[in-house]
Amino acid sequence: MHKKAKSLGANEILELVFIYLAEVSSLKKPDDILNVLASMGRVLTSADRCSIWLVSDDKKTIWTKVAQGIDKLDMPIDSGIVGAAMSKGQRELIEDAYLDPRFNKDVDKLTGYTTKSMIVIPMYNYDDTIIGAFQVINHKGEIEKFDTQDMERLTLASTYAAETLISTNLAIEMQETQKEVVFTMGSIAESRSKETGNHVKRVAEYSKLLALAYGLDKEEAELLKQASPMHDIGKVAIPDSILNKPGRFDENERFIMDTHADIGYQMIKNSKRPLLKAAAIVAREHHEKWDGTGYPRRLSGEDIHIYGRITAIADVFDTLGSDRVYKKAWDDEKIFQLLIDEREKHFDPKLIDLFFENLDSIKEVRETFKDVYEEKIDLKRDKQITILGAYGTKAKGHATTAFSLIVKM
């Protein structure tokens, strides 16, 4: 595949393009696709090197996503001929870089390479903003410069590269949006019932941990982690007077409260998205009990979906350990005793065993996502506001911060 395109006729060029694009179509990972497209660009133009540059998220720098023959480079966005081509949105065909005042010699100094000829093609996003650039350096063979035909061939490779980048970015964007929306919906439901700030995050993490210990594969454990914060989504339909009642429920109130499991399921059951399908199961089955005394369907044993059995333990364990409107947090000894007592009654015995086998990791999660209480005084209103917040957890993959306010007069 490393013949020189320069000496090739039109048919052979076409053949090369087909060979490379066939290889591209057999690949799934965007990085592999971009690598092959960079090779295609290099071979089609008889270049010595090819790099694919991308604009960083903060739009301040450009960096080499693919850099054949050199280490990854990072430069200010307006730097060099690549920067100039991107800011003007223009293709560049350069005979001798050192005669061009825009050329950034620092790159050569860094790499110990001597740049002479160059082509740069800007790459566009679907909304016509620039996402990066395709660049080849140094034409090989007797003629040291590229020509306009090379530029056209490189444009072909760069168009494919841009499409790969666009579809990857869109897929990531969609997944992230879905995760954030689902998590936020869960937080809204929990904050209405004055659940502590990080409750849903801890439930998510405990669920993933137990899922992995149970033997579910990584993808499914991750799916449950993202779905479990939705367990109480049905509470959005429960009146405040019941949801936040300090004392015990009477029979009627208990009946209304218990409908939240089925309401949550009805709300999302029609979605075709795997994440929401999982969330629907969790919402419906997180109050079922192993011995068949739970609700809403009085399922028992393994008739209860594993997502429901796992979320049940994660939810109860976390709820008992947090302060609530109607009670203070229990200490560990009391909580662990309850889990043991409820083994084979409320909870799946195998999962209770796994819970205790993994107790160190569970405690670690509890520590990482513990609730942070931040006191603020509102001088104008002369009220003290306590924010139950979820701080410092952004790095853990949750961009959304859940919090609730308690105003003390």
Closest distance between Fe ion and the C-beta of residue 31, in Å? 39
Total number of residues binding Fe ion (CB under 5 A)? 2
Measured from the CB atom, the residue of 63 and 249 that comes closer to Fe ion is 249
Q: How far is the CB of 406 from Fe ion (least distance, A)?
A: 18
Instruction: Please count the CA atoms within 13 angstroms of the CA of 151 that sit on its side-chain side.
Output: 16
By C-beta, is 92 or 232 nearer to Fe ion? 232
Pairing state between β 61-67 and 372-378: unpaired
What residues have CB less than 8 Å from 144, skipping those under 6 apart? 116, 117, 138
Stretch that binds Fe ion, among 49-57, 101-109, 313-321, 394-402 (CB under 5 A): 313-321
Residues 53-112 that bind Fe ion (CB under 5 A): none
Q: Please say which residue, 220 or 232, places its beta carbon nearer to Fe ion.
A: 232
In whole angstroms, the minimum distance from the beta carbon of 369 to Fe ion comes to 14
Q: Distance from first CA to last CA of the chain, Å, rounded?
A: 77
Q: Which of 235, 327, 376, 394 is catalytic?
A: 235
315 counts as binding Fe ion under rule CB under 5 A: yes
The distance of closest approach from Cβ of residue 129 to Fe ion in the complex, given in angstroms and rounded to an integer, is 42
Residue 127: how many CB atoms within 10 A of its CB? 7
235 is catalytic: yes
CA angle 368, 352, 220 (to 5 degrees): 65
Q: How far apart are CA 84 and CA 100, in angstroms?
A: 11
| Other beta carbons less than 10 A from residue 188's beta carbon | 14
DSSP letters of 324-381? -SS-PPPPHHHHHHHHHHTBTTTB-HHHHHHHHHTHHHHHHHHHHT--EEEEEEETTT
Whole-number minimum distance, CB 367 to Fe ion, in Å? Answer: 19
Q: Among 232, 285, 342, 348, which residue interacts with Fe ion (rule: CB under 5 A)?
A: 232
Taking the complex as a whole, the smallest distance from the CB of residue 112 to Fe ion amounts, in Å, to 59
Confirm if 221 and 211 have CB atoms less than 8 A apart. yes
Query: Is there binding between residue 288 and Fe ion (CB under 5 A)?
Result: no
**Using CB under 5 A, which of the segments 77-85, 315-323, 382-390, 394-402 binds Fe ion?**
315-323
Rounded distance, CA 65 to CA 309, Å?
A: 44
* Residue 233: DSSP 8-state: G
Residue 305 contacts residue 224 (beta carbons within 8 Å): no
Binding window for Fe ion (CB under 5 A); candidates: 104-112, 165-173, 228-236, 382-390: 228-236
- CA angle at residue 133 from 130 to 134, to 5 degrees? 150
Interaction of residue 285 with Fe ion, rule CB under 5 A: no
What does the block give as tokens for 342?
Answer: 């409820």
Which residues from 320-359 bind Fe ion, rule CB under 5 A?
Answer: none
Q: State phi, psi for 337 to the nearest 5 degrees.
A: -60, -40
Give the binding site for Fe ion (CB under 5 A): 232, 315
Task: List, by residue number, the catalytic residues.
Answer: 235
